[in-house]
Amino acid sequence: MTARHERWWWPLVVAPWLATAGCACESTKTDGSDLRGVFDRPTQTTTAGRSASASASKPRASATAAPTIAPLVRDPPAGPCLPPGGEPLAKLDRRIARRPGCRRARVLEWRDPKGTPRYACLYAHRDSQQRTPLPLVLFFHGEYDDPKAVHRKTRLRRRYGKLDLTGDPKHPGFLVLAPQGRRVGGRLVFDTSHVAPDNVDLKTVDHFVATLVAEGAVDRRQIYALGESSGGVMAAFYTMMRPRLVAAFGTYGAAPAHLKWSCDGPPPPAAILYRACDTVTPCADVEQWLGARQDARAPTFSMRLGAGKAEEPSCVLSERQCRKKKGTANHNRWPKEREREWLEFLSRYSLAIPPDAPFE
């Protein structure tokens, strides 16, 4: 282990280780059983509500996990790949977000260009320092959560020490970096409306990633973004703004159809999970976004879930069957049972970055 690695892991050794939308939308007038049918396009269908728009091949990992696809090393565009526009968040709360109390994690700190204290929690298995560089998963929390959601809501902690995303037995596991949003209206949010180089949330995530890259902890070919609800929008936003940094992204309960890919070639690969009954991010809205991705020939893995882990054949559009309380509860129910196939799909994509290329 180099001195550079020793400096990064020393703090971990001495520390204890480690706007609600109802179903009454325009799409409610559509027969739920036909939602997938209106997007009839060439695609590889695996099971109900699940598809992978890529060619089939032998899977690199578990045969029971994500759909089989051809491994892809992507030569990314320079980016950003979103048309500029929007204004930065102006009405931040006077009370800034406090340092998150992430258990068994290293907390990174920084002041963004506006002078606001920013934080991110780095989660990793206690033996990860012996395996670096490792893939990095950027986890963006929803507006009612914070970086502690990685342990509180997900089961990623059961995966980041064992799940092999590299195909190299010397480098099993991955790192999870969870940046914290800024406080607006009592909630922690990320600014995904201000598409500009000076977006402070982009700058903040860039800084934390650059810190880990400089410490030799991250395999730059395999950086992924993952998020729930508004954090899922941030995962898509960051990936499209930083296509030379993020290989693929995943969302849960998000439908960022307003983010229009502006670079040549298809948008980045994405794994998209959602609920058949969701009154925060309606199922039909997600499927409209899926249709747009299919039109753009974007590699996509999608899964429509019921209230639990089982897949559903169609969206629930009836207000009687999908009331606000039930739909909100479904939206906030992270799909713990589907994380493995989610991550394994993302891991099949990497960036064509030479080992000695400077970090941008």
What pLDDT is recorded for position 168? 81
107-141 burial code (b ≥16 CB/10 A, e <16): bbeeeeeeeeebbbbbbbbeebbebbbbbbbbbbb
SS3 category, 185? coil
| Beta strands 50-52; 44-47: pairing state | antiparallel
Q: Does residue 360 belong to any structural domain of this protein?
A: no
Domain that holds residue 122: 3-18+26-88+97-351
Residue 262, in any domain of the structure = yes
Per the omega criterion (within 30 degrees of 0), is the bond before 269 cis? no
Is residue 338 helix, strand or coil? helix
Asked whether residue 12 is domain-assigned, the answer is yes
Strands 300-305 and 50-52: antiparallel
Phi-psi region of 234 (alpha: psi -120 to 50; beta: other; left: phi over 0): alpha
**Listed residue (82, 60, 55, 83) closest to 70, CA to CA:** 55
User: Closest Cα partner for 266 from 111, 53, 120?
Assistant: 53
Helix axes 230-241, 200-214, angle to 10 degrees: 70
The owner of tokens 């099949």 is: 348
Give pLDDT, residue 40.
36
Starting at the edge strand that comes first in sequence, how are the strands of the sheet with 270-275 ordered?
A: 44-47, 50-52, 300-305, 270-275, 248-252, 218-228, 134-140, 175-179, 117-123, 106-111
pLDDT < 50 positions in the chain: 1-70
Question: In Å, what is the CA distance from 56 to each residue of 38, 59, 164, 168, 347?
Answer: 24, 9, 21, 22, 16
Q: Are 164 and 345 in contact (CB under 8 A)?
A: no
Say if 280 falls within a structural domain.
yes
> Is residue 357 included in any domain, yes or no?
no
CB 343 within 8 A of CB 159: yes
Identify whether 250 is part of a domain.
yes
Other beta carbons within 10 Å of 59: 17
Task: Please check whether residue 359 lies inside any domain of the structure.
Answer: no
Q: DSSP state, 143? A: T
- How many C-beta atoms surround the C-beta of residue 80 within 10 A? 20
| Structural domain includes residue 356 | no
> Tens of pLDDT along 98-134?
999 998 899 999 999 999 999 999 999 887 787 789 9
Q: Which of 274, 150, 166 is nearest to 220 (CA)?
A: 166
CATH code, domain carrying 14: 3.40.50.1820
Number of domains in the chain: 1
